[in-house]
Amino acid sequence: MGDWFNDWIGRAVELTGLTGAMLLFVTIPLALLQGFLGIFPFSTLIFIHISALGVVDGLIASWISGVVSAIVVYLVCKFLFAERVQRKWGHRLERYEKWQTSFDRYGIWAIILLRTLPIMPNNLISFMSAVSPIRFSSYLWSSVIGNLSHIWLFGIISSSILFPNMHIGLLIGTYAAFCVSLLAVFAAFRFRDARMGRQDKRNPRAL
């Protein structure tokens, strides 16, 4: 069924005849559908964007669609359907309880990792964030960075399939540098937190 749905999406986009930035009028609603229901992989939209707009513009369009979807799904679930999400998806969220703990411990870094790698469906990440104590500002930045990382990674894979003769060394190199930078920032934050924790233990009155 997934392949049929992906083919249907591709044909529907072609029938609209939209090109360039106008394509977002079709793909953003599709991204919202994917964000709420998860009935097709987001990589389908990445393929569509890159094949229609080229690598750079396609990645930017995919990033915009992914961020808009993540924000809308979070806000709707947070302020309108939080209890319903808990009832309907509670049993599935329990399977990822350890990641909920990681949300509490590592904050935006856990969301960035989950957005980057296909560990958990995108809609469940938004649902878990909506029912967690994570602040919206933290969720926003983690979704912006996490979606960028995810789309960049799958963009490299998509580009090698759609444009087999294209040299993607620069795309891979810049993504590697991006990941190293993220790891460096994460290590710096963890070092700072550990140092502050040691200082608090030495000065209990400061608490």
Domain boundaries, the chain: 2-166, 168-207
On the CB side of 12, CA atoms within 13 Å amount to 13
Q: What is residue 47's predicted lDDT score, i.e. its pLDDT?
A: 82
The predicted pLDDT at position 133 comes to: 77
Q: Which helix (H) or strand (E) holds 35?
A: helix 24-37
Query: Taking a C-beta distance cutoff of 8 angstroms, is the pair 77, 37 a contact?
Result: no
Instruction: Decide if 27 contacts 49 (C-beta within 8 A).
Output: yes
Give the residue carrying structure tokens 């990941």: 179
For residue range 7-42, list pLDDT tens digits in order: 655 565 665 555 667 788 888 998 999 888 888 888
Residue 66 host element (H or E) = helix 55-79
Task: Tell me the percentage of the chain whose pLDDT exceeds 90.
Answer: 17
- Taking the C-alpha atoms of residue 74 and residue 126, their distance in angstroms, rounded to an integer, is 5
- Residue 53 pLDDT > 50, yes or no? yes
Q: Is 41 exposed, middle or buried (0-12, 13-18, 19+ CB in 10 A)?
A: middle
- Where helices occur in 80-135 by DSSP H, the ranges are 82-94, 97-106, 108-116, 122-130
2-6, 107-111, 132-136: least confidently modelled range? 2-6
Residue 177 pLDDT class (50, 70, 90 cuts): very high
More confident residue, 34 or 160: 34
